[in-house]
Structure 1
Amino acid sequence: MSSRIPTLDIRRYSEPSSSSDRDAFVAELGAAYREWGFAGIRNHGIPQSLIDGAYDAFKAFFALPADVKMKYHVKGGGGARGYTPFGVETAKDSKYPDLKEFWHIGREIPRDSKYADVMAPNLWPTEVAGFQRYGYGLFEALDALGSRVLRALALHIELPETYFDDKTNFGNSILRPIHYPPITTPDVPNVRAGAHEDINLITLLVGASAQGLEVKSRKGEWVPFTADADTIVVNIGDMLQRLTNHVYPSTTHRVVNPPGEEARKPRYSVPFFLHPNPDFIIDALPSCISAGNPNRYPKPISAHEYLQERLREIKLI
């Protein structure tokens, strides 16, 4: 692999010109994730109008007075829904909290669902027109795109193409609009988002065209990844790393503070964290265990239990 993180055209998978091109896409996507844990996905089919509308609504919310935003902060809720203010989330093993505030949108499920006790209803700010329509519209669009990526990855590791479908259809997934404020003092001790790995199966980042995202290579070098405007960045999370016994690595990444005047501009990003259903058991797949790659996780764990462990580590609960 080169030192450049690959960007692939997902139409080669969903609208292939030939079966060989589809097979080649699966192979290239799998190779990108084995090497980097990251890839760019273009021609994803999500309308730019939906992305722009969502960003406009999220920016309008973050511009509200602090006391208005705090109406939507759920004390004791671990940030699962609604607003989380500055100075709360802290990257694992970091001394300082990240420089960000954020909102969480989760899956809409029937309130008599067996998952209702661990998947709270969404909150919607009444002060911002279109927040719910655009926010949940983007949630559903990224959820569908994530399912396509997982189907391709399933083929790459010799699973049925639809392996993940009934394991993520009620996943405790999260859309997280984030606001990183302007940095106005030169001696800030922390970065916008400290070096970390994601918790979930895969993360889809829409609007990653702003500078700041860096990915740690296998050689230990920090590689900037500023995607084209029409590209969604998709990376492996710890749950998929564990499920695949590290065939797909969950790569360390961070959001650094930009130099000079760029630091005085706010930064917004919207990752979608795709999770399995809460009762899904994360147990290393037989196709990912071999003499050269013995099972690193002999003790299975449910997706919900694993999520709770990690949320405690990053100080959200």
Structure 2
Amino acid sequence: MKSIPHIDMSLYGQDFDAFAQHVGEGYEQNGFVALTNHGIEQQLIDDALDICRDLFALPEDVKKQYHIPGGGGARGYTPFGTEIAKDAKHVDLKEFWHVGREIEGEPPYPQLTPNVWPQELPEFKPKILALYQALDALGMQVLDALAVYLKQPKTYFRDKVQLGNSILRPLHYPPIVDEGTPSVRAGAHEDINVLTLLVGSREPGLEVLAKDGSWIPVTIIEGAIICNVGDMLQRLTNGVLPSTTHRVVNPPAPYSSKSRYSIPFFLHFNPDFVIDPLESCITEKNPKRFEPIGSHDYLLERLREIGLVK
């Protein structure tokens, strides 16, 4: 793998079967693809990235008012140096804010807790929710393609993720003050969820682990959205679609003296969905590898591993 495959999203409406094949093969081989011609306005993305800069520039004591102790970072602010990659020895060099699904009235699941909005930035809510909804819809199109590739009805995923506790995570990696630090911006890890869609970053650092053990720098094509398979989808597909290890390394100067901002969207199954490998993914060569587990139980198990839930 020299770079990740590019998927032209405009094929979704033009030649869906070819699109599904293209998407499925891209994920089966790499676990990561870049979505181009995805239809999300660049202005909407730029607005979200810019308001995130304003958010993280707020004074420390102001941001900490939006931290919810014992909340596992599910909503609001998570301070610098809290999260650690599974099995890593050093915390990640980042701070972030979590925005979940906006629900009117009584939430259908207790996990869909109310969002926390910074009073100091009234524009944060509309700009971030617009991006949330756009990425949620884009993720659904990718899942339609994967459903067909996995020999399921096109709409297979639609009633399994539409009320998922999907999270938009504005992220800030501050400038690296200590060049000799053993910590990195984000240690090598796999994502827990179904799919991750990554907006930004305008700075280098993201690397993907290839099958030959080498690290491939992901150069962001202007306007593309990076989208990768998470562990929940790997589990559902019995390992057919791999959840690929990736990291954000500390970049060389002059980039190390600058902040890095990105906004991943973590798409999740509905909390009561049971992740049990699809029959179409179980063969003699690939016998069933995973036992059934509820998606929320699996999420909690993994959040404990990375220090967000005690």
User: Which band: TM-score by shorter chain?
Assistant: over 0.9
Alignment correspondent of 2:199? 206
Select 2:51's aligned residue among 57, 60, 80: 57
Identity value in percent: 57
Select 1:32's aligned residue among 2, 23, 26: 26
Q: Using the alignment, how far apart are the partners of 1:48 and 1:291 within structure 2?
A: 46
SS for the counterpart of 2:303 is helix
TM-score (norm 1): 0.96
Amino acid in the other structure paired with 1:286 = E
Alignment correspondent of 1:180? 173
Amino acid in the other structure paired with 2:260 = R
For structure 2, the 5+ residue unaligned runs are none
Amino acid in the other structure paired with 1:120 = T
Q: For the structure 1 residues 181 and 27, does the alpha-carbon distance in structure 2 shift closer, same or farther, using more than 3 Å as the test?
A: same
How far residue 45 of structure 1 moved from its aligned partner, in angstroms, is 0.7
Select 1:123's aligned residue among 116, 119, 133: 116
Alignment correspondent of 1:228? 221
Alignment correspondent of 1:43? 37
Alignment correspondent of 1:134? 127
Amino acid in the other structure paired with 1:101 = E
Deviations 1:55-95 (A, max 9, x none): 11111010010000001000000000000001110000001
SS for the counterpart of 1:154 is helix
Alignment correspondent of 1:275? 268
| Dislocated runs of 4+, deviation >6 Å | none
Quick check: 1:208–1:229 contact (8 Å CA) kept in 2? no
Alignment correspondent of 1:10? 9
Deviations 1:213-250 (A, max 9, x none): 00001111100111112100000000000000000000
How far residue 4 of structure 1 moved from its aligned partner, in angstroms, is 2.2
Amino acid in the other structure paired with 2:27 = Y
Q: Using the alignment, how far apart are the partners of 1:71 and 1:236 within structure 2?
A: 34
Q: For the structure 1 residues 113 and 185, does the alpha-carbon distance in structure 2 shift closer, same or farther, using more than 3 Å as the test?
A: closer
Q: Say if 2:78 is the partner of 1:84.
A: yes
How far residue 209 of structure 1 moved from its aligned partner, in angstroms, is 4.1
Q: Using the alignment, how far apart are the partners of 2:176 and 2:59 within structure 1?
A: 19
Alignment correspondent of 1:197? 190
SS for the counterpart of 1:272 is strand
Quick check: 1:208–1:233 contact (8 Å CA) kept in 2? no
Select 1:163's aligned residue among 156, 159, 165: 156
Q: Using the alignment, how far apart are the partners of 1:126 and 1:50 within structure 2?
A: 21
For structure 1, the 5+ residue unaligned runs are none
TM-score (norm 2): 0.98
SS for the counterpart of 1:102 is strand
Alignment correspondent of 2:89? 95
Q: Using the alignment, how far apart are the partners of 1:204 and 1:114 within structure 2?
A: 25
Quick check: 1:80–1:104 contact (8 Å CA) kept in 2? yes
Q: Say if 2:303 is the partner of 1:311.
A: yes
Deviates more, 1:165-174 or 1:22-31: 22-31
Deviations 1:135-156 (A, max 9, x none): 1111010000000000011111
Q: Say if 2:293 is the partner of 1:293.
A: no
SS for the counterpart of 1:72 is coil
Amino acid in the other structure paired with 1:312 = R
RMSD: 1.0
Amino acid in the other structure paired with 2:299 = L
User: How many residues end up aligned between the 2 structures?
Assistant: 309
Q: Using the alignment, how far apart are the partners of 2:136 and 2:294 within structure 1?
A: 21
Amino acid in the other structure paired with 1:154 = A
Amino acid in the other structure paired with 1:6 = P
Q: Using the alignment, how far apart are the partners of 1:3 and 1:49 within structure 2?
A: 30
Deviations 1:6-34 (A, max 9, x none): 111110112x1xx4xx3222212111111
